[in-house]
Amino acid sequence: MTTVFLLITAVLTALIAGLFYAYSCSVVLGLGKLSDTEYLKSMQSINREILNPVFFMSFMGTALLLPVTTFLFRGEQPSFLFLLLASAAYLIGVFGVTVVGNVPLNDMLDKFDISGSTADALKQMRDSFENRWNLLNNVRTVFSVISIVLVVCACIWNRQLP
């Protein structure tokens, strides 16, 4: 049963790492080329649409299953250590950064009235949002990749045990 938890955890962690990686190396670049109005409208739409069951299953599932799987592997070194580090990286660098950094920025942008704003207000909103949001997303990307690498190490090590 522990191996099943480990594999499900690996898949969910990989899905999240892939999401943030793809976003960092493609979506952000494309959005960066849009006008202020187009950019802000696009980000509002993306931030609303990502709040769906599929995303929550992988994002929250990883936050739940990493610590549970770590607990299941207690006493099995070094798999336990890999999973403990993966849990810390995910919970702090992905989940924590999202909750403390990206979500408040998303909420701020969601409340912003694009159609009723001047060009200066649009530029000011973009300036206060875009670079900070992208930096935080890059942090999430790095930590989600670190998490999946550590989970893969746990999988490999677990497979090598008798």
Any idea where the domains of the chain sit in the sequence? 1-159
Q: Are 24 and 154 in contact (CB under 8 A)?
A: no
Say if residue 162's pLDDT is above 50.
no
Say if residue 161's pLDDT is above 60.
no
Q: How far is CA 54 from CA 3, 20, 108, 157, in A?
A: 23, 15, 24, 30
Look up residue 78 and give its DSSP letter.
T
The structure's pTM equals 0.92
The tens digit of pLDDT for each residue in 71-124 reads: 999 988 899 999 999 999 999 999 999 999 999 999 999 999 999 999 999 999
pLDDT for 93: 98
The tens digit of pLDDT for each residue in 31-71 reads: 999 999 999 999 999 999 999 999 999 999 999 999 999 99
